[in-house]
Structure 1
Amino acid sequence: MQELIKVTVNNDQQLVSARDLHKGLAIKTRFSLWVSQNFKDFDEEQDFTSVVSTTVVNNGARKPIQDYALTIDMAKQLCLMSRTEKGKQYRKYLIEVERKWNDPQEIVKRGYAILQNENTQLKLENKNLTIQLEESNKKASYLDVILGAPDALAVTQIAADYGYNAKDFNNLLHKARIQHKINGQWILYKVYMGQGYVTTKPFTFIDHKGRTRSKPSTYWTQKGRKLIYDILKDNDVLPLIERSDIE
């Protein structure tokens, strides 16, 4: 069957463009007048819906124009009201379109397609929920690591959680504006000082002359490790346990 007019489907309902029908029926009355004369016996939102389509003007630009999406029933009645051979031809075409649409096999096909689409949507939603749950579990597991270690830790141990050595990790914390170096020692920026993020412990070592020496060393508390985690995560730096590229 040769297509006389384009039929679209929205919310499982067949629709045609009022402008396409007006043109196909070769109505001489201008479109807006034809609408006002013929649409008054139909109900908007039930028989037709106001829509905006586009047309190409002389300079090639697309201009928005008023159009209407008509149900097949309304379109058939407008064909009758035209009282022309074109009207009979288009009405006959629309009847055949409607007949095929209501064929039991077509109804089953549409129902199956709807179920397939719903199944696909459910799979996507389940996949998204699974990803969200995995991310949530990852976050919880790393925070559990932090909360499960009440003792303050040296930066070397925290750096290992991120796959860094101590030197590079200290530089990373510096770039993240968490700490800076003064007289060879890493010190928190003022905004973080005195809030319980770090503590100091003596570090004992043997110098090059064999003498036992001691100097203060910075250790990170649970609260400090949580600060590092939050700030680095905002900068897309994650601990190994939360990285998807690490098995």
Structure 2
Amino acid sequence: MNDLIKTHENENGELEVIGRELHEFLEVKDNYTDWFKRMACYGFAEGQDFIGKIRESTGGRPGTDHRMTITMAKELCMLQRTDKGKQARQYFLQLEQAWNTPEMVMARAIKISARVIEEKDNVIKLQEKQIEELKPLAAYVRTILNNKSLVTVEQIAQDYGMSAQKLNKMLHSLHIQYRGGNGQWILYQQHKPFGYVHSETISFKRSDGRPDSTMHTKWTQEGRMFLYKKLKENGILPLIERDFEEKAI
């Protein structure tokens, strides 16, 4: 009797029956698809009484199957009005009685609690991993936020262990800046509205005594963060973050 029709426990600890397995036991003459479509018209709701599923393919086109509640399975058995239907319904009634004994209810509750605890542990582990991954960024961002002043490209280049000339060329290759006619590096138009740089005019005298001036550009802290994100997208990390990753290996 225990193996009359297979039942399956879902993620909520409820018993389910596979549609095609019930159809086979009941020895219904119509093919499964037509039979189930007709049975579903008796007021059963998808998502509440049954859920559609795709059968594993045996070489041909995958067929449709269904997971249904024990309650729906009992009603389908009654609708057949056959000895097989009566036998299956009695089986499901006995199964429900055994399934709902205090011992079985407690066992399922313990099982569900264990799964919930495991899921929470996995969430905690994932959060801990994310925190570890964010530590390098937090350290570098802290460095930036602690410095409210403008910074030169030379200072930013030092964060990455490279020369200002190399960093400028790199930013050019990333389409962040271009070299103007006077030799000054200028942001491309799409980056200008965000206050990433600040330019100031510096006056000086040439060797022959003639007065002259030049533009000197520095990066704001917003610009420094912008460069950090852009460089990281291209696999270029500041030294502080590289050191952290090397220690973690």
TM-score by length of 2: 0.65
Structure 2 counterpart of 1:4:
4
Conservation of the 8 A alpha-carbon contact between 1:146 and 1:222: no
Deviates more, 1:171-180 or 1:92-101: 92-101
Structure 2 counterpart of 1:51:
52
Output the CA distance in 1 between the equivalents of 2:225 and 2:27: 74
Instruction: Report the 3-state secondary structure (helix = DSSP H, G, I; strand = E; otherwise coil) of the residue aligned with 1:27.
Output: coil
Conservation of the 8 A alpha-carbon contact between 1:179 and 1:186: no
Which amino acid counterpart does residue 26 of structure 1 have in structure 2? E
Which amino acid counterpart does residue 231 of structure 1 have in structure 2? K
Pair 1:143–1:219, CA change in 2 (3 A) = farther
Structure 2 counterpart of 1:179:
177
1:14 and 2:12 aligned:
no
Instruction: Report the 3-state secondary structure (helix = DSSP H, G, I; strand = E; otherwise coil) of the residue aligned with 1:62.
Output: coil
1:168 to 162, 166, 172: 166
1:222 to 220, 223, 238: 220
Pair 1:178–1:79, CA change in 2 (3 A) = closer
Structure number with the higher strand fraction is 1
Instruction: Report the 3-state secondary structure (helix = DSSP H, G, I; strand = E; otherwise coil) of the residue aligned with 1:220.
Output: strand
Output the CA distance in 2 between the equivalents of 1:22 and 1:196: 69
Instruction: Report the 3-state secondary structure (helix = DSSP H, G, I; strand = E; otherwise coil) of the residue aligned with 1:153.
Output: coil
Conservation of the 8 A alpha-carbon contact between 2:178 and 2:185: yes
Pair 1:87–1:121, CA change in 2 (3 A) = same
The offset of 1:45, in angstroms, is: 6.3
Aligned length: 231
Q: Which runs of 5+ in 2 are unaligned?
A: 203-212
Q: Which runs of 5+ in 1 are unaligned?
A: 203-214
Conservation of the 8 A alpha-carbon contact between 1:135 and 1:242: no
Output the CA distance in 1 between the equivalents of 2:196 and 2:14: 65
2:186 to 179, 185, 188: 188
* Residues 60-209 of structure 1: pairs in structure 2 closer than 5 A: 60-63=60-63, 65=64, 69-76=67-74, 78-79=76-77, 82=80, 84-87=82-85, 89-91=87-89, 93-131=91-129, 139=137, 141-181=139-179, 185=183, 187-191=185-189, 197-199=197-199
Structure 2 counterpart of 1:24:
25
Output the CA distance in 2 between the equivalents of 1:113 and 1:193: 59
The offset of 1:33, in angstroms, is: 5.7
Output the CA distance in 1 between the equivalents of 2:35 and 2:149: 83
Pair 1:134–1:186, CA change in 2 (3 A) = farther
Output the CA distance in 1 between the equivalents of 2:131 and 2:57: 49
Conservation of the 8 A alpha-carbon contact between 2:175 and 2:188: no
Percent of aligned pairs sharing the same letter: 30
The offset of 1:187, in angstroms, is: 1.4
Structure number with the higher helix fraction is 2
The offset of 1:24, in angstroms, is: 0.7
Output the CA distance in 2 between the equivalents of 1:36 and 1:150: 73
Deviates more, 1:150-159 or 1:191-200: 191-200
Conservation of the 8 A alpha-carbon contact between 2:177 and 2:185: yes
Output the CA distance in 2 between the equivalents of 1:152 and 1:50: 61
The offset of 1:119, in angstroms, is: 1.6
Pair 1:153–1:122, CA change in 2 (3 A) = same
Which amino acid counterpart does residue 237 of structure 1 have in structure 2? I
Output the CA distance in 1 between the equivalents of 2:40 and 2:166: 78
Output the CA distance in 1 between the equivalents of 2:177 and 2:216: 11
Instruction: Report the 3-state secondary structure (helix = DSSP H, G, I; strand = E; otherwise coil) of the residue aligned with 1:146.
Output: helix
